[in-house]
Amino acid sequence: MIDSTTVLWGQTIVYTAYVLIISAVVGWFALVITRPTGSPPIVKPAYFYAFVAFLTTIGVSLHLVTYNTIPWVPDDLNAKEVGRDVPTFSFTMRNHQYYYDGSVLADVVPEASRIKVPCGTLVKFAVTSDDQTYGFGLFRSNNSMVMQMQVVPGHSNDLVWTFVKNGTYSIRSTEYSGPKGNQLQVKDAIVVSGCEKGE
Amino acid sequence: MSAFLETLLDGNEKAFKPASLTPMQKLTLQYVVFGLVYYAFAAIEGMLMRLYEVQPFDLIAPNQFFAIMTAHPLVGIFGSSYLLVFGAFNFVLPFVLGKPIWSYKLAKAAMWLIVVGVFTFWSAGFVSHYSPMYTLYWPLPADFTQFSALGGAVFITGVALVMVGTLLWVVNVVKTLTFTPPGADHVPVLATLGDALGLTTMKRLVTGRIREPFEHLVPLPAAAIARGTVDVLFNALILTFTGVLILVYMVAELSGNSLKTTWVDALLYKNWFWWGLDLIADGLVLIFVAGTWYLLANLITGKPVFMEKWARLALGVELVVSWTVWSHHLLSDQAQPELLKMGSGELVTAFELITQGLAFFITLATLYRARPLAMTNELKFLIGGLLGFALAVPAGIMQADVGLNRVLHNTQWVVGPHVHVAILVGLTMTLYSAVYFLLPILTNGAKLWSQKLATLHFWCHLVGGVGMGAFMGMAGLQGMLRRTIYVNFEYGPYMVLAALSGALLLVALAAFLLNIVMTLGLKGALGIFRKGDLPETQLLPTA
């Protein structure tokens, strides 16, 4: 099952390979242009047009590839429709704190009080802010990110998501809201269960 | 007196004689000096933050850390990049147009306004710890439970001074393009502006005459400067408007009449502010850099730019693209319309891969056609700058994807492989290339003190810049956020390596500054601030 860890590993491999290739090409170029040449160097305009076509293909295909391979993208772009009748978990943020069911969430949530979220089915996180622009991100125990969104005051901030692994996740604000919000996180806030595999 | 001290005072071989400089040469060098001083400010601030990200230390409180983080990019962009770019273009524009700058006094006033403005907001941040970040997300800049209204007002006033200086510079560029100096042939204002802004090329493309030979009124580098200046103008107007709005809230607070922050829609504000702010990152920087690449490639090789008409067209497309890409900063804002996310955020943004890719290709092709070339300092830094954007632009295109942005937004990936590699490796190495090229021209033949230091400067800067971006990016892929203090060494190994890379950047800067001081000498460096006898309209000494 593809989750954010898989996506980020894919990105790491693709970008690292690109960095190595382009660095080698530029390094080779730097050597070549200092060497004497027998005949006048020619760059055909055809190379230029081929390069334009290549860049256009890359620019467009990146988004097509991610749309068809990253599982959350289609849901994300149709969030209003697909998120209409799904289990919803509503949070409010104010004074640099997260509130759930009208109560402020402690810095570390005890096991009995964790918010239980089903795995393998679409759910919705609906977060509002009463004051600042905040962020809402879920993180694994190794601090890697599951997903995040911005929380803008005066607007609905809804994120639909399907968990593919069981696990316990912390909430952390992914947007700076002033020095008071520096450690705005709730450890072990959410427990996801119902799938065969765990984190 | 030892030879070292003698050189330190009088410069290398006593070749630099500031009295021989024209006022324009001196003014350009003054811009460069202030730009480098502020670069040093930003570099030291950056190093402090790098160390703090390894492990927070008591010397800096968290609110001071965030104040540094707020000032750092603003000092880097306005204090360093703007001054270096504006100063260089004040000289280059008359140089390529073959006529004097429209107003020397305006150019001087612009410099001082920016210098004083940057120092004002930096000081206000240092003293009051005003720290809403450069993003200024509403209503944070007007949150007086966290920030002093007075400190914030001084901070915003400093930014406003920079904007006024910027607007004066814009006026000077436009007037320099279009005015007719005494005794010269008449300059047709509208036709010149049309050519400079790309309307002429666009018209020729639409009417199918793009392949026909055409004599442009404005050389390619001047066209790039003109088009980037449009984005400078729009950016300054948006920042000024936003600054005035924030100042209104501050003045009201100071006078005991607090205003409701809900009067301003946070999402609408975010849209207009990013529209303007993004004109720096995705507009003027890319356009100015492409123009500088073309100019340097032309000057280094002595040959015309490859496929020049397409280069002109790409600059025009980039200008339009830069007005329509802001939404890639709001891909994680759920209330942002999907149409804007897909259209502006993803598809139009992907055009930057094409426009910047073309500039990359055209510059390389221009250099290649002129081989063999000597690997001079200006050439190696130009190639470094090209590599920087070749690394940073695709990193930005990746985060400007709806799917990937969900796990990259506000992580160290954004500021590492994208922002810092673009600015430190792409932009700064391009500027260093220009500095090395212009140094003998601006100093009437001063001789560089040490080639070994120049080589050390190049390698430390390249490896440090790429390394820092890479390790920040690796931490970002592991979930490290860009504006969060981590107290438990969560990303320690990456941050140690990023800090070591940052230290290399400082070594590079020290090597460069030492080399420049030894080249010009302390007396010479002071001499550029003394008034000369030559006329202000003269770009270079005639002899």
Cross-chain Cβ contact A56/B354 below 8 Å: yes
pLDDT in tens, B417-435: 999 999 999 999 999 999 9
Asked whether residue A53 carries a pLDDT value surpassing 90, the answer given is: yes
**Cβ contacts of B481 on chain A, cutoff 8 Å:** 137, 172, 174
Determine the average pLDDT of the residues in B462-486: 97
Task: Chain B: give the shortest CA distance to residue A76, in Å.
Answer: 8
Determine the average pLDDT of the residues in B457-467: 98
Cross-chain Cβ contact A77/B404 below 8 Å: no
Determine the average pLDDT of the residues in B473-490: 96
pLDDT in tens, B335-345: 999 999 999 99
Decide if the complex's ipTM is over 0.90: yes
pLDDT grade for B543, boundaries at 50, 70 and 90: low
pLDDT in tens, A88-125: 999 999 999 999 999 999 999 999 999 999 999 999 99
For B347, the closest chain A residue by CA position comes to A60
Q: Domain count of chain B?
A: 1
**Cβ contacts of A132 on chain B, cutoff 8 Å:** 137, 139-140, 143
Asked whether residue A133 carries a pLDDT value surpassing 60, the answer given is: yes
Q: So where are chain A's domains?
A: 4-29+42-70, 86-193
**Stretch among B72-81, B113-122, B279-288 having the lowest mean pLDDT:** B279-288
**Cβ contacts of A162 on chain B, cutoff 8 Å:** none
The pLDDT > 90 percentage for chain A reads 92
CB pairs below 8 Å between A and B: how many?
222
Answer yes or no: pTM beyond 0.80. yes
Q: B260 CB near a chain A CB, below 8 Å?
A: no
Which residue from A41, A72, A150 is facing B368, i.e. has the nearest CB?
A: A41
Asked whether residue B89 carries a pLDDT value surpassing 80, the answer given is: yes
pLDDT grade for B214, boundaries at 50, 70 and 90: confident
Residues B274, B290: Cα–Cα separation, whole Å: 22
Cross-chain Cβ contact A63/B350 below 8 Å: yes
Provide the chain B residues 86-145 that lie in CB contact (below 8 A) with chain A: 129, 131-133, 135, 137-140, 143
| Interface residue of A133, A140, A184, A199 to substitute, partner B, most B CBs within 10 Å | A133
Compute how many other C-beta atoms are within 10 angstroms of the C-beta atom of residue B11: 27
B473: containing domain: 1-59+412-537
Task: Chain A: give the shortest CA distance to residue B406, in Å.
Answer: 6
Predicted local distance difference test score (pLDDT) of residue B282: 81
A140 vs B282, which has greater pLDDT?
A: A140
Asked whether residue B179 carries a pLDDT value surpassing 80, the answer given is: yes
Task: Chain A: give the shortest CA distance to residue B241, in Å.
Answer: 20
| Interface residue of B407, B418, B487, B491 to substitute, partner A, most A CBs within 10 Å | B407
Instruction: Assess if CATH 2.60.40.420 describes domain A86-193.
Output: yes
| Interface residue of B356, B484, B485 to substitute, partner A, most A CBs within 10 Å | B484
- Do residues B312 and B285 touch, judged by C-beta distance below 8 A? no
pLDDT in tens, B351-391: 889 999 999 999 999 999 999 999 999 999 999 999 999 99
pLDDT grade for B201, boundaries at 50, 70 and 90: confident
Q: B470 CB near a chain A CB, below 8 Å?
A: yes
The pLDDT > 90 percentage for chain B reads 91
Compute how many other C-beta atoms are within 10 angstroms of the C-beta atom of residue B2: 7
- Confirm whether B473 is domain-assigned: yes
**Stretch among A42-46, A112-116, B19-23, B142-146 having the lowest mean pLDDT:** A42-46
Residue B423: phi and psi, rounded to 5, are: -80, -50
Nearest to B195 by CA among B227, B228, B234: B227
Predicted local distance difference test score (pLDDT) of residue B234: 96
Q: B410 CB near a chain A CB, below 8 Å?
A: yes
Residues 6+ apart with CB under 8 A from A110: none
| Interface residue of A6, A57, A62 to substitute, partner B, most B CBs within 10 Å | A62
Asked whether residue A193 carries a pLDDT value surpassing 60, the answer given is: yes
Which residue from B131, B350, B374 is facing A59, i.e. has the nearest CB?
A: B350
- Do residues B228 and B287 touch, judged by C-beta distance below 8 A? yes
**Cβ contacts of B395 on chain A, cutoff 8 Å:** 15
- Confirm whether B192 is domain-assigned: no
Predicted local distance difference test score (pLDDT) of residue A39: 78
pLDDT grade for A25, boundaries at 50, 70 and 90: very high
Task: Return contacts of B296-300, CB within 8 angstroms, 24+ apart.
Answer: B296/B378, B296/B382, B296/B430, B296/B433, B296/B434, B296/B437, B297/B363, B297/B366, B297/B367, B297/B382, B298/B220, B298/B221, B298/B366, B299/B437, B300/B367, B300/B370, B300/B373, B300/B376, B300/B378, B300/B379, B300/B382, B300/B437
pLDDT grade for B210, boundaries at 50, 70 and 90: confident
pLDDT in tens, A164-173: 999 999 999 9
Cross-chain Cβ contact A152/B266 below 8 Å: yes
Task: Chain A: give the shortest CA distance to residue B59, in Å.
Answer: 16
Asked whether residue B517 carries a pLDDT value surpassing 90, the answer given is: yes
Task: Chain A: give the shortest CA distance to residue B88, in Å.
Answer: 26
- Confirm whether B454 is domain-assigned: yes
Cross-chain Cβ contact B490/A143 below 8 Å: yes
Which residue from A51, A132, A177 is facing B361, i.e. has the nearest CB?
A: A51
For B394, the closest chain A residue by CA position comes to A15
Strand, coil or helix: what is B363?
Answer: helix
Beta bridge partners of A190: A115, A169
Cross-chain Cβ contact A33/B367 below 8 Å: yes
Cross-chain Cβ contact B391/A22 below 8 Å: yes
Q: A70 CB near a chain B CB, below 8 Å?
A: yes
- Confirm whether B316 is domain-assigned: no
Task: Chain A: give the shortest CA distance to residue B239, in Å.
Answer: 19
Q: B266 CB near a chain A CB, below 8 Å?
A: yes
Which residue from B267, B354, B481 is facing A52, i.e. has the nearest CB?
A: B354
Beta pairing class for A88-94 and A103-104: unpaired
Q: Furthest-apart CA pair in chain B: how many Å? A: 71
Residues 6+ apart with CB under 8 A from B183: none
Residues B103, A107: Cα–Cα separation, whole Å: 60
Asked whether residue A129 carries a pLDDT value surpassing 80, the answer given is: yes
Q: A28 CB near a chain B CB, below 8 Å?
A: no
Task: Chain A: give the shortest CA distance to residue B8, in Å.
Answer: 34
Predicted local distance difference test score (pLDDT) of residue B175: 97
